[in-house]
A and B are shown apart, each in its own frame.
Chain A
Amino acid sequence: MDEPVTYNVPSGLVGAYRGRSLVVRAHDPSEVVRDTPPDEPADISYVQLLSVGPEVDDLVHWGVGIPVDVVMRSPLSEFMQLYRYAKLLENHPVRITVPVVPGFGSAVRMALALNFAVKLEVTRQPRPDLIDELHDVLNLYLYRPTVSQPVEFFHSLLLAFYRWELATLWEIQEEDPARFRYVTDDGQEVAPRHARRGAAAFDVINGAGTAEYRRELLAEGGECADCEYFAHCGGYFKWPERGYDCAGVRTLFGALSQAAGELHGDVEAYDATRGEARA
């Protein structure tokens, strides 16, 4: 059976998408409370706040249990305000979406210290300086004992490596046009943000997803054809510029794959210890 499509809609269009899986977005939490009837929350996967700044008090006691995603635009200037969102944790899981731009690591540190989950938004194909910063954040996520929340896309990739499961970055990042649609403020259905970037946007209406794009990449015989991580990447980092050099991002995949291997080793060693203790 096909996976259901999730629609990212402005809060004012919630009524038009009743019965579908929704991400409800708004700049101000009060818009969500105003536009979403009390019986609507059952359809809402999460609420997405597009501005860091407005008071969140209205949202604290609304839709208890519904996750809230706070989208940062300028992490270096906005991260100091994250303390104000801590009160949401009383009734909501909270995730901070942090664009991968220079200095984004500070926002990730702040979010994790406040016990928020993090999603890294790849706004453009990362250059070497950003690869270094991504490695810093990956180390935080993997090895700092006080970090107890997931950092996506690292977390889902680590689990995929650990469980030998197939999951592509397009799905993990909620950018697969076959699974996720973005509804513009005037009601037009388009591909999610990253997938929409570049000269050739994905065909959303026919629901082709990324399958054809991935086939093309492999047929071209470029970097992707020999890449051991293609099954998990799916050409995510080759979009929109196919000439992008993936050497840096492959080191990230490598570090995650290695960490999954180490975890396997640790779990096996632990199981062996328990077996010895029982014997």
Chain B
Amino acid sequence: MFGGSVGTSMDYPNLHRKLFGRGPGEYTKLWRRNVRAAREAGIDISVISVPNRATLEVGAEAFYSYFVDELDVRSFQVNTPFPGGEQNEVKRSLPLDVEALSRFFIDLTDVWLERGYGRGVEVGPVDELLKRFTDGGGCLPCIWQQNCADEFVSIDARGYVAQCDCWVTSYPEYFFGNIFESDSLTELLLNSPARRQFLERPQVTIEQGCLECDYLSLCHGGCPVRTYALGAGGGAGHDVAVRAEEVSQQRAHVGVVPDDQHPLPDPDGQRECLLPDQLFP
């Protein structure tokens, strides 16, 4: 079943994943027990992990060691947070200091290149990015596609259609429509004003100056839902969204640029990038 492989989510340190009415420690204990049981049953485990403030404090070395050395996870992917839907205290705390997050990704890549690369350990999305740089291949994640509006749609159990699972679970104002209220999915997609915005988004990003960016071929304006979600709160959130997109770009350097040349966010804050409300005018 599942091709002998199961994906699961866990952060290190775990701050936010909890059992109902209990703390993250008990969740982690249960999760570790289940991972061990799955492995004993011959099932490979791959992990998706989202860095939090504590992750940046313990650093990439401890993060890598926890998953690879302690839990023997050979494949994990590091995603950036997506605080979709209604805001609450936890979601407001999710955006991380971009400089620290950049350093974390760079350090994690260095650790992986030294200890895991060529030894059967996959760390996404850095491993695929490295393939892109070395042979032009690599299966890049959806956040780095030219335009995700050309790639997929998501339909939830109620029949609502939206760009992806993130949009369909969080932002009704960007639903394309409902399949139970339309005779044809094709017509629904063709006539949706919200989808038209997604299709036209690349032009907006290019008009705002992305054409000059060295990393346009990887970033294409960044993941729309992350950009939108981080900016939805307004004010400072806009700046975080903008800089979060820079991290996406900076990760493009990782693994191919010598240590002393790793580009970190522009310390003077002069770099121009897009605000979410420019991406979705």
Interface residues of A (CB under 8 A from B): 80, 83, 86-87, 106, 109-110, 112-115, 144-149
- Contact across chains for B150 and A148 when beta carbons are under 8 A apart: no
- Contact across chains for B211 and A106 when beta carbons are under 8 A apart: yes
B-side contacts of A110, CB under 8 Å: 206, 211
CB distance from A81 to the nearest CB of B (A): 8
Q: B19 within 8 Å of A by Cβ? A: no
A-side contacts of B146, CB under 8 Å: 83, 86, 114-115
User: Given that A110-B211, A115-B217 are known contacts, is A146 also in contact with B136, CB under 8 Å in the complex?
Assistant: no
**Distance of A113 Cα from B221 Cα, bound (Å):** 12
Given contacts A145-B256, A146-B215, A147-B217, 16 further A-B contacts (CB under 8 A): A80-B203, A80-B206, A83-B203, A86-B146, A109-B211, A109-B216, A110-B206, A112-B217, A113-B211, A113-B220, A114-B217, A146-B133, A146-B214, A146-B216, A146-B218, A146-B252
Return the contact of B150 from the options A86, A109, A115 (Cβ within 8 A): A86
Q: B147 within 8 Å of A by Cβ? A: yes
B-side contacts of A112, CB under 8 Å: 217
Q: B91 within 8 Å of A by Cβ? A: no
A-side contacts of B124, CB under 8 Å: none
Q: B202 within 8 Å of A by Cβ? A: yes
Interface residues of B (CB under 8 A from A): 132-133, 136, 146-147, 150, 202-203, 206-207, 211-212, 214-218, 220, 252, 256
Return the contact of B214 from the options A86, A115, A144 (Cβ within 8 A): A144
B-side contacts of A114, CB under 8 Å: 146, 217
User: Given that A86-B150, A87-B150 are known contacts, is A145 also in contact with B133, CB under 8 Å in the complex?
Assistant: yes
**Distance of A188 Cα from B206 Cα, bound (Å):** 42
User: Given that A80-B206, A83-B202, A148-B132 are known contacts, is A113 also in contact with B147, CB under 8 Å in the complex?
Assistant: no
Residue in B closest to A112 when the chains form the complex, CB atoms: B217
A-side contacts of B203, CB under 8 Å: 80, 83
- Contact across chains for A83 and B147 when beta carbons are under 8 A apart: yes
Residue in A closest to B211 when the chains form the complex, CB atoms: A109
**Nearest 5 interchain pairs by C-beta:** A148-B136, A113-B217, A113-B216, A83-B202, A86-B146
**Distance of A86 Cα from B212 Cα, bound (Å):** 19
Residue in B closest to A114 when the chains form the complex, CB atoms: B146
Instruction: Please name 14 pairs of A and B residues whose Cβ atoms are closer than 8 Å in the assembled complex, sorted by A.
Output: A83-B147, A87-B150, A109-B211, A109-B216, A112-B217, A113-B211, A114-B146, A114-B217, A115-B217, A145-B256, A146-B133, A146-B217, A148-B136, A149-B136
B-side contacts of A106, CB under 8 Å: 211
A-side contacts of B133, CB under 8 Å: 145-146
Residue in B closest to A109 when the chains form the complex, CB atoms: B211
Residue in A closest to B147 when the chains form the complex, CB atoms: A83
**Distance of A145 Cα from B202 Cα, bound (Å):** 22
